[in-house]
Amino acid sequence: MSSNSKKVCILGASGYTGGELLRLLANHPGVEVVMATSREYVGKPVHYVHFNLRGIYRNLKFTDINLDAVSKNCDAVFLSLPHGVSLNYVPKILEMGILTIDLSADFRLKNPELYKMWYGFEHPYPDLLNKAVYGLPEIHRDELKNAKLIASPGCNATAGILSLLPLVKNNLIFLDKIVVDVKVGSSEAGSKPSIADHHPEREGCIRPYDADGHRHAAEVEQELSLVVGKSVSISMVPHAVGSVRGALASSHAWLTQNIDDVEMLKYYVATYKNEPFIRIVYKVPPGYPDPKYVVGSNYADIGFAIEKRIGRVTSFAAIDNLVKGAAGQAIQAFNIAMGFEETAGLLIVPPKPV
Amino acid sequence: MSSNSKKVCILGASGYTGGELLRLLANHPGVEVVMATSREYVGKPVHYVHFNLRGIYRNLKFTDINLDAVSKNCDAVFLSLPHGVSLNYVPKILEMGILTIDLSADFRLKNPELYKMWYGFEHPYPDLLNKAVYGLPEIHRDELKNAKLIASPGCNATAGILSLLPLVKNNLIFLDKIVVDVKVGSSEAGSKPSIADHHPEREGCIRPYDADGHRHAAEVEQELSLVVGKSVSISMVPHAVGSVRGALASSHAWLTQNIDDVEMLKYYVATYKNEPFIRIVYKVPPGYPDPKYVVGSNYADIGFAIEKRIGRVTSFAAIDNLVKGAAGQAIQAFNIAMGFEETAGLLIVPPKPV
Amino acid sequence: MSSNSKKVCILGASGYTGGELLRLLANHPGVEVVMATSREYVGKPVHYVHFNLRGIYRNLKFTDINLDAVSKNCDAVFLSLPHGVSLNYVPKILEMGILTIDLSADFRLKNPELYKMWYGFEHPYPDLLNKAVYGLPEIHRDELKNAKLIASPGCNATAGILSLLPLVKNNLIFLDKIVVDVKVGSSEAGSKPSIADHHPEREGCIRPYDADGHRHAAEVEQELSLVVGKSVSISMVPHAVGSVRGALASSHAWLTQNIDDVEMLKYYVATYKNEPFIRIVYKVPPGYPDPKYVVGSNYADIGFAIEKRIGRVTSFAAIDNLVKGAAGQAIQAFNIAMGFEETAGLLIVPPKPV
Amino acid sequence: MSSNSKKVCILGASGYTGGELLRLLANHPGVEVVMATSREYVGKPVHYVHFNLRGIYRNLKFTDINLDAVSKNCDAVFLSLPHGVSLNYVPKILEMGILTIDLSADFRLKNPELYKMWYGFEHPYPDLLNKAVYGLPEIHRDELKNAKLIASPGCNATAGILSLLPLVKNNLIFLDKIVVDVKVGSSEAGSKPSIADHHPEREGCIRPYDADGHRHAAEVEQELSLVVGKSVSISMVPHAVGSVRGALASSHAWLTQNIDDVEMLKYYVATYKNEPFIRIVYKVPPGYPDPKYVVGSNYADIGFAIEKRIGRVTSFAAIDNLVKGAAGQAIQAFNIAMGFEETAGLLIVPPKPV
């Protein structure tokens, strides 16, 4: 590790997102992970929980959260804590002048009212909401360069936004009748066991949840409304499926104009042509994006289909929910904020088949 | 087997639907399977292909199709042949005065033009289309009693229609902006190996297909338009997922009126309260229908979710694509036409977990 | 339900084995389930937990255990309680003169010392151990006819014993060097969530457990030693795999004599030719037993392979761990003890594919 | 790409092993892939087949095999062709003085008689068999430094050898009664569709194959006999399971001496302590090696269990069959032969969960 590498802390390192931060940062050329916290596993080596990391981090053990130590040793902090917990730490870390990347929802929404509506609590730091930069480089790259607080997007929100961006931005669809039908693997539910995600119950399931309104819709509405300068309504309907990794957003919308595939493709290419992690899938096998082929990587595969006789378009975004949907995207934003190559540590090629 | 049991032939008995007909008819109290055809496996016992049937049909071997033998030995014929092949046999079997249940798409659509549009061929027997009864008991029970030719519905179509029936029939949704987002297991693709369904490629996938227009939309449009007496437009977007059995239709639509969950439930109950195979899932675990809990059975689990702030409703139907979506539904229609108890041979309780 | 049907209670009905008892007994022609207990779900309908049973048992709700009610209402009791809990109820139910079928390990072993060694407790009712009949009909059919207390076998033990019975009984293998390598789906671990069986951790795993000695070896040793009249040593090494249902025992042993496939087959046929639930797989597809093709059913598929150059034989038994490995086998033994047809309620044909 | 990078050709690049070579070499600091052949996909970009490689190799297209071009442009050739096909190319490439790494079985065995016995053909180049170096660095690292022809090991053989090496080398087990019970994911069967690996048939299966003798036993016997200087007999029994990646060898053997876990561990550590890709799993979660936690990586996780009362030891090796079992191991051997860092391109951290 070079002497001028950046020292990074991970608060909440024993969950799946924490584990992915550890996996990806292990190969980051400019980063040293100096702290990984977990109340439950204090004193255990990180591979005690993350079996994949056996032999990778030889001396890193879980500790309790200690903000003094953070203050002395860290150049940046990733918070991978539950919603409503992160916000207890973020203001203090910001005061230390340390780059703060929060992977929870606690600073994603600009409008504090939305926290009451979607998360059921009064936000205690409404002033910080506008200081936070929503960590989606495809929309906020410039602001991320000077960010002090990065609110890393939700996984379903990432897929929703990336699928709809070319359509909304170019006024190609009606903005009040959009359904984002999401299918997502079990790792999205986190590492804590539950009946719903117990293997016998989850394997092979196709199970809608939050079908009367999913909170990630709020992020998608916020970001797309911002982009187009008009109010966008999003109805998000997620479904638990039996894969482990990956989320697919199938965003169904109604076209404002007659447009064919070739023209549509141009809008997609124009939107994403300089993006290092967006890959457009157009009329080559397997036809449309499938999260299976981005597993473990920071890529988002994007595509679309038009049913002309009806005027319906569906735009697809396939991501690895733990990478582009969480840890990878957070590192991408961190790289931008820290002045690293945006792709540092993230040029992982997904395996196939997996 | 009682002496007055009905003698049944299965043309195309080596595929998955043929196998399910054999499985279900094995326990039918009034049926004897006297012929099971398969060009590829002539002379082999049925368990040579259907390993599950080992020891069940001790003397039944695959034969070639022989219409003379059909004519002499059969009271009813199930055709489980590819689209475009069935129609070569159906007219001849009908002429023999034998009850004909066709599980292909060849006689499902009333309008011959639609065969050109969706299936790419000119239908050679357009006059037979109106003689065929679409084999969905929930809509056509009375006509099935006198049916000579039953056109058994497609699996995605079955899920689509059953999910939307209460909404369309009661004018609760706009009829021109309906998206049926289907998720379906690999058995739907049939028993013939392909790259797309090779295990390493299919396992864990979430892969859209036919996203620019799926042919089962034609059946859904036909049946729902008939029910409501107005033109209904359906956009169907199917997705291959990594389970083996089961299809879930998530039918997204926009409400014509403000309606709450309790009122909506009444419409669902009213529509289905006398149906032996429809089960309504409403605010009990797991919350919404999941095909995992109907595997192997003829049940269709139906439910809905309303997002009031947006005026969107999603109606769900979960079926076993090979049972209520194919073999089971065909037997249900056969029972009605033959005068058996409608549920004969079909009272199978799905296992859990599976 | 006919007036002279037998009234059955299930103690511990909310787990997977309890659910399977409910599923199978729903179609039993001579049984009425009058009580299903679950401390956790008192007052809830059984389909609140067993979603598959929606609409099947319309009025059955979970209750607390109430031995008075058992005494008044039941002809037979199935106990599907944890090891060490069953034994608190069994003596009392026996005293009521009610047929008792215990699906735990509490009365499977004849030698009380083995409870200390394998289960870590002193057995409080050693005298009852010899009154219990080990509920494997393939060995103990005659004793089951007069049984009062049936100790239903463990799933891995069932697969182990059935695979080895033809070899041991006929002195075809050395009895001191037998390894039973078991692969088993996640339902075996029960319905209680755990990290090990959390979907993201369990899916796709191939994970040995109890590899330094699995307690089901004790049952296999007891039963096979009894059959052959010599001491048999069994080393059992189970592996968790990513399927939900099914267990395969691959029992590796060393031949005492040169024997070819055809001769060996005769021993298997001779052992099992009258067994209603044993199916022998010999040189037809898929080549060897696979639990995938017995899912949901009470069948055990049995086969073998000989490697002549080395003198090694492997005998395979594939079962559904929750059916022939638990609930189905318990009902089979109950049928024998009650004087029902042995196959009553159990003639379920497994679906394929599933 | 630096000007002095090594130019590499892959013959047979459209299969799974070819795809993995492409994935891993994409991140190799000293390699440029200049040719990737596939008869079936000539002219198509590599991501036409390997969807994961979209955007990775921007200009690499499949070509036909052209040995002239190989001769002019390549420093090394990887052959990922079927058994019996590789041997037509290997002698010619060797004559060009180009480092040849053959991933087929064609040059793994020293004794030409074994090709008749296990592969059913007379080897046409018996003299080359002794010039080939068996590409397992853990045994042949020194010879690999000067190798011209590397015969890369089979995946089941790799797992078998690595699991048994500490036991055999130290005379801890009887050498005539060893059973290697292998469980392996579907990617091992290759990319060509088949009924056996059609998703509906393969998913959730636990299916023995080649149970009367698996050809990889020949490699294990050869290598272990060489190490210990005595004849070793191996009985290998592979099982297809429903995961996609990963192989676990559970090698069952009988101890020659009383030995406890701590002593045994010392032998394992002594054998592997300097190996960059061997990780020993000993009494930490999840207890024993599981291929789930090496997916996508070149690691082999090794562990053991002793059942003292019986004198049985089982040694486990978990690998990714396509990486340490194929492409990764081939690159590891190539690195040694070429003088690269042995781990170049291979320091991939496996993701979890996946």
How does pLDDT run along chain C (354 residues), one tens digit per residue? 456 799 999 999 999 999 999 999 999 999 999 999 999 999 999 999 999 999 999 899 999 999 999 999 999 999 999 999 999 999 999 999 999 999 999 999 999 999 999 999 999 999 999 999 999 999 999 999 999 999 999 999 999 999 999 999 999 999 999 999 999 999 999 999 999 999 999 999 999 999 999 999 999 999 999 999 999 999 999 999 999 999 999 999 999 999 999 999 999 999 999 999 999 999 999 999 999 999 999 999 999 999 999 999 999 999 999 999 999 999 999 999 999 999 999 999 999 999
| Test mutation, B206, B215, B294, B354, chain A, max A CBs within 10 A | B206
Residue A249, SS3?
Answer: strand
Residues 6+ apart with CB under 8 A from C121: C84, C115
Domain co-membership, D307 together with D167: yes
d(CA A120, CA A247): 25
Chain D closest-CA separation from residue A147 CA (Å): 29
Which member of A207, A243, A250 has the closest CB to residue B204? A243
DSSP D152: P
Confirm or deny that A16 is annotated as ligand binding: yes
Separation between Cα atoms, residue B333 and residue B112, nearest integer Å:
23
Q: Kindly give, in sequence order, each residue whose CB lies less than 8 Å from that of residue D311, ignoring residues fewer than 6 positions away.
A: D254, D255, D258
Q: CA D79, CA D151: separation in Å to the nearest integer?
A: 10
Nearest CB to B54 within list C279, C295, C322 = C279
Which pLDDT does position D3 carry in this prediction? Answer: 61
D321 is in an annotated binding site: yes
Report how far residue D78's alpha carbon sits from residue D164's, in angstroms, rounded to the nearest whole number.
28
Residue D253: C-alpha distances to residues B33, C32, D267, D312 (Å): 51, 50, 16, 6
Give the position of tokens 């550590």.
D269
Rounded distance between C-alpha atoms, residue C215 and residue C137, angstroms: 21
Q: Residue A194 sits in a domain of what CATH number?
A: 3.30.360.10
If phi over 0 gives left and psi between -120 and 50 gives alpha, with beta otherwise, what is residue B43? left
A104 CA: distance to closest CA in chain D (Å): 20
Strand order of the β-sheet with B178-184 is B206-208, B234-241, B178-184, B247-254, B312-319, B300-307, B278-280
Q: In 10 A of CB A3, how many CB atoms?
A: 5
Query: Searching chain A, which residue's CA lies closest to the CA of residue C190?
Result: A200
pLDDT given for residue C262 in this prediction: 98
Of all residues in chain D, the one with the smallest CA distance to B52 is D201
Catalytic residue IDs of B: 155
Residues 191-210 of D with CB under 8 A from C: 196, 200-201, 203-209
CB spacing of A286 vs D20 below 8 angstroms: no
Give dist(CA D350, CA D332) in Å, integer.
17
Q: Does C292 share its domain with C217?
A: yes
| Lookup result for tokens 């093709």 | C293
- Facing residue for C212 by CB, picked from D213, D292, D306: D306
Distance CA A326, CA A346 (A): 13
Tell me the DSSP string of C210-242: STT--THHHHHHHHHHHHHTS---EEEEEEEES
- Which pair of tokens denotes residue C104? 């735990």
Q: In whole angstroms, what is the distance from residue D326 CA to residue D298 CA?
A: 9
For residue D299, which residues of chain A lie inside 8 Å, CB to CB?
54-55
Supply φ then ψ for residue B260, to 5 degrees: -100, 175
Domain-located, residue D346: no
Given an 8 Å threshold on Cβ–Cβ distance, is B51 in contact with C286? Answer: yes
Residue A94: CATH number of its domain: 3.40.50.720
Residues 6+ apart with CB under 8 A from A142: none
Residues from chain D that touch A354, judged by Cβ atoms under 8 A, are: 244-245, 295-296, 354
Partners of residue D202 in chain B, C-beta under 8 Å: 199, 203
Residue among B95, B33, B74, B23 nearest B298 (CA): B23
Pairing state between β B76-79 and A6-11: unpaired
DSSP C127: H
| Residue of C16, C199, C241, C321 for testing the chain A interface, max A β-carbons within 10 Å | C199
Q: What angle do CA A187, A188, A193 make, to 5 degrees?
A: 60
Distance from CA of C252 to the nearest CA of D (A): 7
Residue with tokens 């379906």: B184
**Same domain for B303 and B171:** yes
Both B162 and B302 in a single domain? yes
Distance, CA of C132 to chain centre: 15
Interface touch A287/B208, C-beta < 8 Å:
yes
Residues of D in contact with C239 (CB under 8 A): 183, 248, 250
Contacts of B289 in chain A (CB under 8 A): 208
Question: In angstroms, what is the C-alpha Rg of chain C?
Answer: 20
Q: Quick one: pLDDT at residue D2? A: 55
pLDDT tens across the length of chain D (354 residues)? 456 799 999 999 999 999 999 999 999 999 999 999 999 999 999 999 999 999 999 899 999 999 999 999 999 999 999 999 999 999 999 999 999 999 999 999 999 999 999 999 999 999 999 999 999 999 999 999 999 999 999 999 999 999 999 999 999 999 999 999 999 999 999 999 999 999 999 999 999 999 999 999 999 999 999 999 999 999 999 999 999 999 999 999 999 999 999 999 999 999 999 999 999 999 999 999 999 999 999 999 999 999 999 999 999 999 999 999 999 999 999 999 999 999 999 999 999 999
Q: Check whether residue B246 and residue B289 sit in a common domain.
A: yes
Using the CB atoms, write b or e for B193-214: b if 16+ within 10 Å.
Answer: beebbbbbbbbbbbbbbbbbbb
* Residues placed in the known binding site of B: 14-17, 321
Structural domain for C104, as ranges: 6-152+326-338
Burial status of residue C317 (CB atoms within 10 A of its CB: 0-12, 13-18, 19 or more): buried
Sign of CA dihedral B331, B332, B337, B339: positive
Q: Give the separation between CA D263 and CA A225, rounded to whole angstroms.
A: 66
pLDDT in tens, D89-115: 999 999 999 999 999 999 999 999 999
Predicted confidence at residue A2, as pLDDT, reads 55
Which chains contact B through at least 3 pairs of Cβ atoms less than 8 Å apart?
Answer: A, C, D
CA count, 13 A, side-chain hemisphere, A255: 18
Do B146 and B277 lie in a common domain?
A: no
What is the count of residue pairs from B and D with beta carbons less than 8 Å apart? 64
Residue among D177, D286, D288 whose CB faces C254 most closely: D177
Of D51, D284, D349, the CB nearest to A52: D349
Nearest chain D Cα distance for residue A244, angstroms: 6
The complex's ipTM works out to 0.97
Looking at the complex, report in whole angstroms how far the Cα of residue A339 sits from the nearest Cα belonging to chain D: 23
Q: Residues A149, A93: contact at Cβ < 8 Å?
A: no
Minimum Cα–Cα distance from B246: chain A residue: A206
Smallest CA-to-CA distance from C27 within C320, C292, C326, C349 is with C349
Residues of B in contact with C350 (CB under 8 A): 23, 52
Instruction: Tally the domains of chain C.
Output: 2
Residue numbers in C near B349 (CB within 8 A) = 23, 26-27, 52-53, 56
Residue D35 backbone zone (phi > 0: left; psi -120 to 50: alpha; other: beta): beta
- DSSP 8-state class, residue A293: G
Asked whether the beta carbons of B250 and B316 are under 8 A apart, the reply is yes
| Contact check, Cβ <8 Å, B279/C54 | yes
Cis, peptide link before residue A286, omega less than 30° from 0: yes
Q: Is residue A347 part of a domain?
A: no
User: Which ranges of chain B have pLDDT less than 50?
Assistant: 1
Q: Which of D185, D194, D242 sits opposite B193 (nearest CB)?
A: D194
Cβ–Cβ of D353/C200 closer than 8 Å? Answer: yes
Instruction: Please report, in range form, the residues annotated as the binding site of B for NADP(+).
Output: 14-17, 321
Residue C345 lies in a domain: no
Q: Is B345 part of a structural domain of the chain?
A: no
Contact check, Cβ <8 Å, D309/C213: yes
Beta bridge partners of B101: B78, B150
- Which of A197, A207, A281, A313 to probe by mutation at the B interface, max B CB count within 10 Å? A207
CB A172 within 8 Å of CB B243? no
Pair (D220, D208) in one structural domain: yes
> Among this protein's residues, is A155 annotated catalytic?
yes
| D99, D217: one domain | no
Q: What is the largest CA-CA distance in chain A?
A: 63
Asked, for residue B238, whether it belongs to a domain, the answer is: yes
Instruction: State both tokens at C112.
Output: 């009380």
Contact: B211, A314; criterion CB under 8 Å = yes
D contact residues 278-297, partner C, Cβ 8 Å cutoff: 286-292
At C179 the three-state DSSP class reads strand
Q: For residue D352, what is the nearest residue in chain A, using CA coordinates?
A: A52
Give the bridge partners for D339, in sequence order: none
Exposure b/e, C288-303, CB count within 10 A at least 16 = b: bbbbbbbbbbbbbbbb
**Which residues from chain C sit within 8 angstroms of residue A14, using beta carbons?**
none
Q: Would C350 be classed as within a structural domain?
A: no
Q: Is residue C317 within a helix (H) or strand (E), and if so which, with residue range?
A: strand C312-319
Cβ–Cβ under 8 Å, residues D306 and D255: yes
CB atoms < 10 A from the CB of C125, how many? 16
Given phi > 0 = left and psi -120 to 50 = alpha, else beta, which region is B343?
alpha
Number of CB atoms found within 10 A of residue A192's CB: 12
Interatomic CA distance for residues A328 and A350, integer angstroms: 13
Question: Cβ separation of A237 and B250 shorter than 8 Å?
Answer: yes
With an 8 Å Cβ cutoff, are B354 and C295 in contact? yes
* CB contacts, 8 Å: A345 with chain D: none
| Cβ within 8 Å, pair B204-A288 | no
Put simply, whether C260 touches D (Cβ < 8 Å) is no
pLDDT on residue C2: 55
Together in a domain, D65 and D192: no
Nearest to D200 among B200, B201, B244 (CB): B244
Whether D347 is covered by a domain: the verdict is no
Q: Which sequence positions of C are flagged as catalytic?
A: 155
**Cβ-based neighbours of C127, under 8 Å, separated by 6 or more:** none
Whether C306 and C166 map to the same domain: the answer is yes
Looking at the structure, tell me whether residues C114 and C205 fall in a common domain. no
Which chain D residue is nearest to residue C319, measuring alpha carbons? D206
Q: Please report, for residues A204, B160, C294, D94, D147, the alpha-carbon distance to residue B291 in angstroms, rounded to integers and kept in the order given.
A: 9, 14, 20, 57, 56
- CA closest to A188 among chain C residues: C200
List strand residue ranges (DSSP E) for D187-245, in order: 206-208, 234-241
Question: Which pLDDT score is estimated for A3?
Answer: 61
C259 and C163 share a domain? yes
Q: What is the pLDDT of residue B4?
A: 79
Q: Is residue A351 part of a domain?
A: no
Residue where the block lists tokens 């996946």: D354
